[in-house]
Amino acid sequence: MEYYMDNYLARNIKVKDNREKLVDISKYVDVIIKKENIGKIKIKNRFVRKSVALMLKKASLSLPRNCRLIIYDGYRSLKIQTIFFERQLKSLRKRYPSWNLKKLKKEASKYVADPEGICPHKTGGAVDVSISCNGREIDFGGFNLFKEKKISLERRMNRKFLARIMEKAGFVNYPLEWWHWSYGDMYWAAVKKKKFSIYSEIK
């Protein structure tokens, strides 16, 4: 869960940002960008660090010709991350009105990173991806793994397929989210046993 990710990384990983710029993914590789708006706010989810864009290109080249990567999320600003988190808190408050704020935040962090803590998407090094083949998205299952009781063999194999593509390109997976992949951020550094991450949060 991201709550665990937050606390673990905060204790163990230092940051030395290499000042790599954010770039538009679509200028480096042919992908499907899933556009999302929050009210009148347009989420600019097509931006990542340059190395991440090049790695996505490498991942794309490993796919069969009839398949393309789907990008759900790349860089998130503090404002967008806060909106996502507050939206999750609001939903939980309705479901658990007796819970205090600390407990609500801990539960919300299972689904959306707390903007006051470690947020991989704020670094531009994290990306949420899926795959489309022959114009249809592959069945990986839903985006709420906390409610998954059993994964079908098809979905398990599809997730392994995605993992092979992304790991070959140099990404590391956050194991509780099949769609979330990292490079250069604090989680990547922890998995790769690096002394420091190369991407800090972009203010």
Q: Which of 171, 168, 108, 165 is nearest to 140 (CA)?
A: 165
Strands 32-33, 37-38: pairing is unpaired
Q: Where are the beta strands (DSSP E) in the chain?
A: 14-15, 22-24, 32-33, 37-38, 41-42, 47-49, 67-73, 126-133, 136-137, 172-173, 180-182, 196-197
Chain centre distance of CA 62? 20
Domains and CATH numbers, the chain: 2-75+122-197 (3.30.1380.10)
Other C-beta atoms closer than 10 Å to the C-beta of 115 total: 20
Chain centre distance of CA 97? 29
Spatial CB neighbours of 186, under 8 Å, sequence gap ≥ 6: 9, 13, 15, 118, 120, 123, 197
Contact 123, 183 (CB under 8 A): no
CA distances from 51 to 9, 107, 110, 123, 124 (A): 22, 33, 28, 12, 10
pLDDT of residue 149: 67
CA distances from 125 to 66, 92, 98, 184 (A): 27, 28, 37, 6
Angle in degrees, CA 176, 17, 166, rounded to 5: 35
pTM of the model: 0.85
- Per-residue model confidence as pLDDT tens for the chain (203 residues): 344 454 555 567 889 999 999 999 999 999 998 876 555 556 667 899 999 999 999 999 999 999 999 999 999 888 888 888 898 899 889 989 999 998 988 888 777 778 877 788 999 999 999 999 999 999 998 766 555 667 889 999 999 999 999 999 999 998 778 999 999 998 899 888 888 999 999 87
pLDDT of residue 3: 41
Q: Which residues pair with 197 in a beta bridge?
A: 15
15 three-class SS: strand
CA atoms within 13 Å, Cβ hemisphere of 129: 31
pLDDT of residue 148: 62
